[in-house]
Amino acid sequence: MEQMSNLLAMAMSAPPTRAERAEMESPQVSKEIDENKHRIRSDVALTEGWKMRTEPPKPKICQFCGKTLYHYGLKHFAGAHEVFLWLEEPEKCDCMQAQEYWKQQERLKIEAEIEEQRLKEAERMKKRVARLVKESGIRGRFINRTFERFEITDMNRRAYEKCKRYADSFSIMLPGKDERGNVTPPQKERNGLFITGSYGTGKTHLACAIANQLMQGGTPVICMTMIDLLAKIKNTFETDDSATEADVMKLYEEIPLLVIDDIGSEQPTEWGNTHIYSIINARYEAYMPTIVTTNYTGSELVRRMTPTYGGKLGDTRNAEKTLDRLHEMCVGVEMYWDSYRSR
Ligand SMILES: [Zn+2]
């Protein structure tokens, strides 16, 4: 027993091996020692007279500092002093510019991977849109409502610029993900738009212009009137096949941009209000950007969104909760003027 604990003590106090020491001092160095068990640099192999199946590639010159960069060859097996394969790329230079260059290359590679991931995700999302709601809502008269076709006047210029800036910087409106895959808030906390104004001033045109620009850039968008949005949910359980109400709701919650046009102008129902609140609240929780347009504000909008029973206004809480969320999520864009005089 005593002998064993002595051995243990000895083992514990034994000086660390070279590899262990290197590991403690710098994990990078130890990795190199490990790699060099299996590979040898061409200049060393030549001076040590190693056998080789092919000549080593001609060394290259560092484009930054002019240092000679040799190629590594893979050792045939330990003790045979033979190189059986030369690596195609020479060693990386250790000068500062070269290190900066390789770091930059690594960054570019990661960015390209992220972009590829984004496009794949967008493709998947578009297929879901096609399967569940058939189309994004951008069709017919909406498809022509672009920024290019928007007639800028002195009155609508501010609203136009706000919306154009929003579309141009949309990437900072989207939430991110940390290394663990958890959702992180977007750079811009209030990442939605609440476009209000009088009838015919171009609210829908600007909302559609944002949607059109983003879709051109490959971002999946759903842009519908509140009536259509709700009708799509109803359709799924009245007609369909495989799509369920939950599938459509989940799509509304997860689409990168949801535009709800013309809230407050439909005939309100308890059912519709519950669903709209549920969508808005889910998007709020997940930091997903949302744009709404409406002809009404404040208490009038609450009234417009609340069903009446025998001429008496029903429970306004769902409408209030929905608007409360939207105000927290959105930046306001106001377009109030007499639309006929501005033409
Ligand atoms: Zn160099």
Domains of the chain: 2-94 (no CATH), 120-342 (3.40.50.300)
Judged by DSSP in three states, 40 sits in strand
Report the distance separating Cα 276 and Cα 282, nearest Å.
10
| Range name among 123-132, 316-325, 331-340 with the lowest pLDDT average | 331-340
**For residues 210 and 131, which has the higher predicted lDDT (pLDDT)?**
210
In the reported structure, the alpha carbon of residue 99 is separated from the centroid of ligand 1 by a whole-number distance in angstroms of 8
Supply the pLDDT for residue 21.
57
Task: Identify any residues that bridge with 41 across adjacent strands, giving them in sequence order.
Answer: 72
> Cα–Cα distance between 252 and 275 in angstroms, integer?
11
Taking ligand 1, which is a single-atom ion, which protein residues have CB atoms under 5 Å away?
Answer: 62, 64-65, 67, 93, 95, 98
Provide the strand spans (E) within the chain: 39-41, 51-52, 60-61, 68-69, 72-75, 82-86, 176-177, 183-184, 192-197, 221-225, 257-261, 290-294, 308-309, 312-313, 330-335
110 CA → ligand 1 middle, Å: 23
Ligand 1 centre from 67 Cα, in Å?
6
Q: Residue 90 C-alpha to ligand 1 middle, in angstroms? A: 12
Q: How far is the CA of 70 from the centre of ligand 1 (A)?
A: 12
What is the model's pLDDT at position 30? 56
102 band by pLDDT with thresholds 50, 70 and 90: very high
Spacing, Cα 73 to ligand 1 middle (Å): 21
Residue 241: pLDDT band (50, 70, 90) is: low
Q: Say what the pLDDT of residue 142 is.
A: 77
What number is the average pLDDT over the span 209-213? 95
CA gap 320, 281 in Å, rounded? 12
As a dihedral over the C-alpha atoms of residue 91, residue 97, residue 102, residue 106, rounded to 10 degrees, the angle is 170
The predicted structure's pLDDT at residue 193:
98
Distance 94 CA to ligand 1 centre (A): 6
Residue 237 pLDDT greater than 90, yes or no: no
State residue 143's pLDDT score. Answer: 82
Whether 174 and 286 have beta carbons less than 8 Å apart is answered as no
User: What tokens does 303 get?
Assistant: 């009234």
Name the range with the highest mean pLDDT among 10-14, 23-27, 229-233: 229-233
CA of residue 43 to ligand 1 center, whole Å: 17
**What residue type is assigned to position 250 of the chain?**
K
Angle at 281 between CA 253 and CA 313, to 5 degrees: 120
Q: Is the pTM of this model over 0.85?
A: no
Residue 9 has pLDDT above 60, yes or no: no
Residue 93 CA, ligand 1 centroid: distance in Å = 5
Assign 117 to helix, strand or coil.
Answer: helix
Nearest to 262 by CA among 230, 238, 299: 230
List 197's β-bridge partners, or say none.
335
pLDDT of residue 104 exceeding 90: yes
Give the whole-angstrom CA distance, residue 248 versus residue 25: 56
Lowest mean pLDDT among 131-145, 159-173, 321-335: 131-145
Whole-number average pLDDT of the chain? 86
Q: Hunting for tokens 């990386």 — which residue is that?
A: 92
pLDDT tens digit sequence for 109-165: 999 998 898 899 999 999 988 888 777 877 776 788 999 999 999 999 999 999 999
pLDDT at 134: 79
Q: Which residue has the higher pLDDT, 272 or 237?
A: 272
The token duo for 62 is 């560092």
Q: Which of 38, 21, 40, 39 is closest to 30 using CA atoms?
A: 21
What's the 41 CA to ligand 1 centre distance in angstroms? 17
Query: 225 pairs with which residues across the strands?
Result: 261
* Ramachandran assignment for 49, one of left (phi > 0), alpha (psi -120 to 50 degrees), beta (any other): left
149 phi/psi in degrees, rounded to 5? -90, 0
| Residue 5: both structure tokens together | 């604990």
pLDDT at 258: 97
The pLDDT value recorded for residue 189 is: 85
- The three-class DSSP label of residue 2 is helix
Give the pLDDT of residue 240.
54
CA-closest candidate to residue 219, choices 259, 263, 274: 259
